[in-house]
């Protein structure tokens, strides 16, 4: 709520300033025409066009030095005059810090309070407190996609296809997926009650689950038909590099005819992990460049054995593939080591560093941009697939996957043409 209000206030101030500037420019423009006519200068004569100077000049108060006493004046006014007293100084402080970062206008630069910092750190480590169920909206109903092995969801018997009709008694009809996930997650040891309906049941049942710390399995694999290995990479967490390395050896032992690397809906994670994964295909050279504020490029080079470089590979991507996923996809595309199938990626190609503060809060700040080995910008651009195929809602509801089908077709065709 604090965040939304601050964004709203910032937008309002920018809105007012914008129109004041427009009105001033219009006034000056009309005044200039008036004075020109009064002095006998014709507005129809030919003239050599000039240039606009100071285009980067900040308007009004933004071009002046600011006195930090203004901050304390604002603080004092709020403390003394706000209608709902007492005012929490802690909330004022955290709100001010959040507003400072928000003023950058960068959606990826964020201030985290201590609690949010802990949650963010845990997720990067591959941990969260919840029931261990993957959920999605299917046929307009929040549905269990899978229960993680050994999780409270699996122990309670939740199965793929189970429909969640209510969470702690709150009807899930028209509930957003993010909101539902946040309601299901919670502190370890606490309970959540899901109202579940399953095909074949006479009526829905209420199932109580006790939340536990869930370890996210960031990478899994399986053999498909025609001796093709499919790798599902969901995150680039702390343990992904080690787990991926184990999987590489397991797949090599099977000697597959091709590899499908599924990066769909992978939001990214650690840069080093993305480089490690890419290095299983790229034997040497740049995996990704970091472009800093001064325009300098820092190369992040391949560091692995490239055990997959001789295996035909198809990478599946979509609009949910971001950050680390785009690093991997962009590098394999530039080096022509894989065919990209699916939809254009998200376009989140910036580098964030987490700066810890003394009280346990932190600032996640953008410090650089990512470029592919061919120096193509990822941020705001995304990675285009070589073969564009959409996965529609109807496909999802009917358990169809035309993107994966196309990947298998490509790899099967390559083997047939050998």
Under DSSP, the state recorded for 361 is: -
pLDDT at 60: 58
Looking at 215, 239, 258, the residue that finishes a domain is 215
Whole-angstrom distance, CA of residue 289 vs CA of residue 156: 46
Residues 135 and 259 occupy one common structural domain = no
Under DSSP, the state recorded for 269 is: B
> Would you state the structure tokens that stand for residue 268, as one six-digit string?
């990214």
Q: Decide which of 134 and 163 is more confident.
A: 163
Residues 150 and 237 occupy one common structural domain = no
Residues 146 and 255 occupy one common structural domain = no
How many domains does one find in the chain?
3
* Active site annotation includes 191: no
Q: Decide which of 231 and 26 is more confident.
A: 231
Is 198 a domain residue? yes
**Rounded to 5, what percent of the chain is helix, strand, coil?**
35, 25, 40
Is 109 a domain residue? no
Q: Decide which of 41 and 79 is more confident.
A: 79
Is 54 a domain residue? no
Is 28 a domain residue? no
Q: Is 63 a residue whose pLDDT tops 80?
A: no
Is 340 a domain residue? yes
Q: Is 260 a residue whose pLDDT tops 70?
A: yes
> pLDDT confidence of 416, banded at 50, 70, 90?
low
Q: Is 418 a residue whose pLDDT tops 80?
A: no
What's the pLDDT tens digit per position in 67-114? 888 889 999 999 999 999 999 998 898 899 989 988 998 877 889 888
First to last CA, the chain: 60
User: Which residue in the list 291, 348, 361, 379 is annotated as catalytic?
Assistant: 348
User: Which residue in the list 151, 241, 321, 323 is annotated as catalytic?
Assistant: 323
> pLDDT confidence of 239, banded at 50, 70, 90?
confident
Q: Is 28 a residue whose pLDDT tops 80?
A: no
Q: Is 297 a residue whose pLDDT tops 90?
A: yes
Residues 336 and 409 occupy one common structural domain = yes
Residues 147 and 206 occupy one common structural domain = yes
User: Which residue in the list 113, 162, 276, 334 is annotated as catalytic?
Assistant: 334
> pLDDT confidence of 62, banded at 50, 70, 90?
low
Q: Decide which of 280 and 33 is more confident.
A: 280
Please state the pTM of the whole predicted model.
0.68
Please provide the average confidence, as pLDDT, over all residues in the chain.
Answer: 82
Is 53 a domain residue? no
pLDDT at 126: 66
Residues 88 and 203 occupy one common structural domain = no
Is 181 a domain residue? yes
Q: Decide which of 314 and 117 is more confident.
A: 314
pLDDT at 37: 30
Angle (CA) 183-184-188 rounded to 5° is 110
Q: Decide which of 6 and 209 is more confident.
A: 209
> Would you state the structure tokens that stand for residue 29, as one six-digit string?
């423009």
Task: Tell me the CA distances in angstroms from 305 to 77, 277, 282, 286, 344, one per residue in order.
Answer: 62, 11, 8, 14, 29
Q: What percent of the chain has pLDDT over 70?
A: 83
Residues 301 and 169 occupy one common structural domain = no
Count, residues in the chain: 418
pLDDT at 137: 82
Q: Is 20 a residue whose pLDDT tops 60?
A: no
Burial class (CB in 10 A: 0-12, 13-18, 19+), 23: exposed
Mean pLDDT over 316-345 rounds to 95
Output the domain CATH number for residue 136. 2.30.42.10
pLDDT at 311: 97
Q: Is 367 a residue whose pLDDT tops 70?
A: yes
Q: Which domain does 166 fall in, by range? A: 127-215
Residues 225 and 191 occupy one common structural domain = no
> pLDDT confidence of 220, banded at 50, 70, 90?
very high
Whole-angstrom distance, CA of residue 102 vs CA of residue 94: 12
Q: Following DSSP, what letter does each residue of 298-311 receive, concatenated?
A: EEEE--S--TTTTS
Q: Using CA of residue 226, residue 228, residue 234, residue 240, what is the dihedral sign? A: positive
pLDDT at 324: 93
With beta carbons less than 8 A apart as the criterion, state whether 272 and 288 touch: no
With beta carbons less than 8 A apart as the criterion, state whether 151 and 207 touch: no
> pLDDT confidence of 189, banded at 50, 70, 90?
very high
Residues 211 and 228 occupy one common structural domain = no
pLDDT at 340: 98
Looking at 191, 215, 239, the residue that finishes a domain is 215
What's the pLDDT tens digit per position in 109-154? 889 888 888 877 877 676 788 998 888 788 889 998 778 778 899 9
Q: Is 2 a residue whose pLDDT tops 50?
A: no
Residues 191 and 299 occupy one common structural domain = no
Output the domain CATH number for residue 298. 3.90.226.10
* Active site annotation includes 272: no
Looking at 187, 215, 243, the residue that finishes a domain is 215
Bridge partners for 136 per DSSP: 143
Lowest mean pLDDT among 29-38, 242-251, 285-294: 29-38
Residues 13 and 139 occupy one common structural domain = no
Residues 272 and 185 occupy one common structural domain = no
* Active site annotation includes 323: yes
Mean pLDDT over 307-313 rounds to 96
Is 389 a domain residue? yes
Mean pLDDT over 25-42 rounds to 31
């Amino acid at each position: 709520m604090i965040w939304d209000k601050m964004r709203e206030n910032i937008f309002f101030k920018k809105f007012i300033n914008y129109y004041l500037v427009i009105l001033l420019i219009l006034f000056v423009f009309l005044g200039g025409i008036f004075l020109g006519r009064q002095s006998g200068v014709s507005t129809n004569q030919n003239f050599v066009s000039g240039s606009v100077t100071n285009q980067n000049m900040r308007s009004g108060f933004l071009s002046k030095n600011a006195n930090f006493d203004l901050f304390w004046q604002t603080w004092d006014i709020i403390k003394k005059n706000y209608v709902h007293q007492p005012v929490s100084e802690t909330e004022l402080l955290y709100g001010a810090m959040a507003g400072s970062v928000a003023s950058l206008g960068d959606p990826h630069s964020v201030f985290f309070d201590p609690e949010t910092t802990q949650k963010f750190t845990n997720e990067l480590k591959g941990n969260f407190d919840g029931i261990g169920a993957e959920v999605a909206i299917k046929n307009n109903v929040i549905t269990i996609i899978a229960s993680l092995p050994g999780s409270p969801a699996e122990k309670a018997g939740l199965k793929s296809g189970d429909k969640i009709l209510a969470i702690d008694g709150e009807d899930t009809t028209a509930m957003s997926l993010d909101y539902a996930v946040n309601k299901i997650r919670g502190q370890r040891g606490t309970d959540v009650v899901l109202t579940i309906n399953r095909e074949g049941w006479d009526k829905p049942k209420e199932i109580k689950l006790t939340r536990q710390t869930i370890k996210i399995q960031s990478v899994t694999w399986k053999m498909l038909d025609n001796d093709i290995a499919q790798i599902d990479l969901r995150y680039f967490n702390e343990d992904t590099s080690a787990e991926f390395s184990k999987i590489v050896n397991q797949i090599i032992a099977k000697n597959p005819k091709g590899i499908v690397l599924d990066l769909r809906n992978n939001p990214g994670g650690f840069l080093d992990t993305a480089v490690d994964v890419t290095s299983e295909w790229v034997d040497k050279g740049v995996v990704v460049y970091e472009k800093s504020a001064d325009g300098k490029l820092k190369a992040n080079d391949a560091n692995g054995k490239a055990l997959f470089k001789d295996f035909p590979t198809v990478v599946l991507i979509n609009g949910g593939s971001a950050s680390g996923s785009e690093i991997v996809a962009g590098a394999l595309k530039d080096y022509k080591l894989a065919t990209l199938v699916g939809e254009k990626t998200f376009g989140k190609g910036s580098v964030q560093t987490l700066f810890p503060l003394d009280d346990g809060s932190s600032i996640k700040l953008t410090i650089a941009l990512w470029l592919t080995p061919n120096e193509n910008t990822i941020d705001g651009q995304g990675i285009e697939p070589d073969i564009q195929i959409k996965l529609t809602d109807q496909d999802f509801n009917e358990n169809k996957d035309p993107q994966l089908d196309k990947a298998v077709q490509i790899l099967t065709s390559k083997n047939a043409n050998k």
